Amino acid sequence: MSQKLHDNERIKIESNFLRGKLVEGINDNTTGAFPSDEVQLVKFHGLYQQDNRDRRAERKQQKLEPLYSFLLRARLPGGVVTPQQWLEIDRVAEELTDAGSIRLTTRQTFQYHGIFKRNLKSVFQELKFKANIDSIFTAGDVNRNTICTSNPEQSVLHTEVYELSKKISEHFLPKSNAYAEIWLDGEKVLDTEEEPIYHNIFLPRKFKIAVALPPYNDVDIHANDLNFIAIIEDEKITGYNVVVGAGLGMTHGDKTTFPRLGDDFGFIPTDKVIEVAEAVVTTQRDLGGRVSRSHARTKYTLETHGIETFKQEVEKRSGVTFAAPGAYEFTERGDRIGWVKGIDNKWHLTVFIENGRILDFDGKPLKSGLVKIAKVHQGTFRMTANQNLVIASVPESEKDNIEKLARECGLIDDGTSAQRLDSMACVSLPTCPLAMAEAERYLPGLTDDVEGLLAKHGIAKDHIILRITGCPNGCGRAMLAEIGLVGKAPGRYNLHLGGNKIGTRLPKMYAENIDEATIVSTLDELIGRWANERNQNEDFGDFVIRAGIIAEVVIAARDFYA
């Protein structure tokens, strides 16, 4: 007897290519929310229904429904926008969102928080008609925003991978006119529609694609279902290695779920990328699990059907035979903060934005400062996959002025430590409905604590990849950190240790369900040992494995819980 499919599968099939009853939901002024089926459907349009959890008790006492609002995530393959687009992005945040902020994300784009339902159509239309930006397929069971290396030094190669990321993104956009009909007041389609890639069932679960340009692993390849790693010879990209089946999410208490590194299927020439990408996506569409959402990502399809079976199916569908993997090496990840000069003789300034939150803080008016920069900047802005921003292609004649403006608003702060630059968190509370513990609001204080511990043990200039995610879904990429915290309950976290600096090894749980004070005392002991017992130039993640503090995760399905 076949198992019953998850109810999300019914919702997709019955939705008339993602229309459902969204129009009726928009027009229902008796509630700030959508009906339950449509809560799932709006994700395909780039929205998440949320409520302010800080105000739940107050609203309940007042006999009011939760303060519902929406997160909108933009589609920006490669994360590049013009100054004119930035000004519109800022204006929409200011005029049409309750939060008033722009939040840079680990998917190399931006998102808004606190959009009330009555403002949704205005946000969609202002973004599309004034900035030519949409949010199609930035969430839901589809290919989401395609990301790529944002390193500005290799300008010519960056342009190539950026153009490829746009091409991939556009290839996997829907054929359905639902988005335009619902949000942009577009003309209704009367003919029968088809989705040649997704059909009417779409994918079993979300799907993420990245294009990486070694030696930088700034896109964290092992956080994505499908990765194309550029193989470079004589300063030219000759093709790509294809890495499939990575992903970081898991479920607390369910040891059949786990983070997983991807498998390198081999090398393909550049002109075969789209064919192979479609073959991987459609193989996952047809072989992926649709019974349990917790087991529906590509990584579990490889575990269930076998790597070779999946690979052979991709070769069959694409007509491409994988060659032996090309040689490459990752030497670093994260972003190079500060000025660098590209090979095009233009300057690029990467600025650190803690938690990716762009807002005017006391003494640090980031949001209005970026508006001033956008009004004079002649190049582009590049969002990174690490929640930072590159003010790109600055001519020599404008460099001093851009630096002056950036310093005035706090975008350049010489006092920011290397540890803070290597720390990252997801949004979590108060808006994320899945959050179990704080992340974004906890990170600054925890970073202060870790900075203090490094100084206490005489290694203040050293740094550790530190990441926090408020639930086990993995948005903050804690499962690729040297120290990864995963929210378990308010004020309590699972502590994972043993990832490496370049993001090619998973950490393993060292302590479960510990409070914030215990986290600091535990790290105090471990950092002290690292300072006193490490080999020369030995990173923290490597040390805790060599010293036997934590076992290395080699094969996730076997080792992660062992």
Identify which of 182, 184, 137 has the alpha carbon closest to the alpha carbon of residue 34.
182
Per-residue pLDDT at 1: 47
Sign of the alpha-carbon torsion through 485, 486, 489, 495:
negative
Concerning whether 475 is annotated as a catalytic residue, the answer is yes
Domain locations in the chain? 338-415, 419-559
Identify any residues that bridge with 213 across adjacent strands, giving them in sequence order: 216
- How confident is the model over 166-191, as pLDDT tens digits? 999 999 999 999 999 999 998 776 66
What 3-state DSSP class applies to 49? strand
Whether residue 377 has pLDDT greater than 50: yes
Kind of pairing between the strands at 236-244 and 263-269: antiparallel
For the segment 288-317, the average pLDDT, to the nearest whole number, is: 98
Q: Are 147 and 210 in contact (CB under 8 A)?
A: yes
Q: Which residue among 117, 382, 475, 477 is the active-site one?
A: 475
- How confident is the model over 265-284, as pLDDT tens digits? 999 999 999 999 999 999 99
Tokens of 101: 């902020």
For the segment 53-70, the average pLDDT, to the nearest whole number, is: 97
Tokens of 486: 């995963």
What percentage of the chain's residues is helix, strand, coil (to nearest 5)? 35, 20, 40
How far is it, in rounded angstroms, from Cα 557 to Cα 493? 22
Q: Are 348 and 337 in contact (CB under 8 A)?
A: no
What 3-state DSSP class applies to 148? strand
Tokens of 122: 């205005």
Concerning whether 148 is annotated as a catalytic residue, the answer is no
- Do 419-559 and 338-415 have the same topology in CATH? no
What is the dotted CATH code of the domain comprising 338-415?
3.90.480.10
For the question of whether the overall pTM of this predicted structure is more than 0.75, the answer is yes
In whole angstroms, how far apart are CA 27 and each of 113, 124, 188, 486? Answer: 21, 16, 17, 39
How far is it, in rounded angstroms, from Cα 509 to Cα 50? 30
- How confident is the model over 400-453, as pLDDT tens digits? 999 999 999 999 999 999 999 999 999 999 999 999 999 999 999 999 999 999
- What is the DSSP track for 51-90? E-GGGHHHHHHTT----EEEEEE-B-GGGEE-HHHHHHHH
Phi, psi (deg, nearest 5) at residue 478? -65, -25
Q: How far is CA 22 from the centre of its chain?
A: 26
Kind of pairing between the strands at 110-115 and 68-73: antiparallel
Q: Which residues contact 547 (CB under 8 A, 6 or more apart)?
A: 529, 533
Fold of 419-559: Sulfite Reductase Hemoprotein; domain 1 (3.30.413)
Whether residue 152 has pLDDT greater than 90: no
Per-residue pLDDT at 298: 98
Q: Which residue among 299, 471, 508, 534 is the active-site one?
A: 471
Concerning whether 260 is annotated as a catalytic residue, the answer is no
| Higher-confidence position of 64 and 193 | 64
Q: Which residue among 107, 432, 488, 534 is the active-site one?
A: 432
How far is it, in rounded angstroms, from Cα 244 to Cα 283? 12
How far is it, in rounded angstroms, from Cα 162 to Cα 166? 6
Concerning whether 91 is annotated as a catalytic residue, the answer is no
Whether residue 518 has pLDDT greater than 90: yes
Q: Which residue among 19, 75, 205, 206 is the active-site one?
A: 206
Q: Count CB atoms within 10 A of the CB of residue 344.
A: 12
Phi, psi (deg, nearest 5) at residue 307? -60, -45
Concerning whether 409 is annotated as a catalytic residue, the answer is no
Concerning whether 144 is annotated as a catalytic residue, the answer is yes
Cis amide prior to 472 (ω within 30 degrees): no
The maximal CA–CA distance of the chain, rounded, in angstroms, is: 72
Burial of 21 (0-12, 13-18, 19+ CB in 10 A): middle
In whole angstroms, how far apart are CA 541 and each of 261, 331, 505, 527? Answer: 17, 15, 9, 11
Whether residue 547 has pLDDT greater than 50: yes
Sign of the alpha-carbon torsion through 448, 450, 456, 460:
negative
Whether residue 151 has pLDDT greater than 80: no
How far is it, in rounded angstroms, from Cα 320 to Cα 283? 14
Q: Which residue among 107, 117, 426, 508 is the active-site one?
A: 426
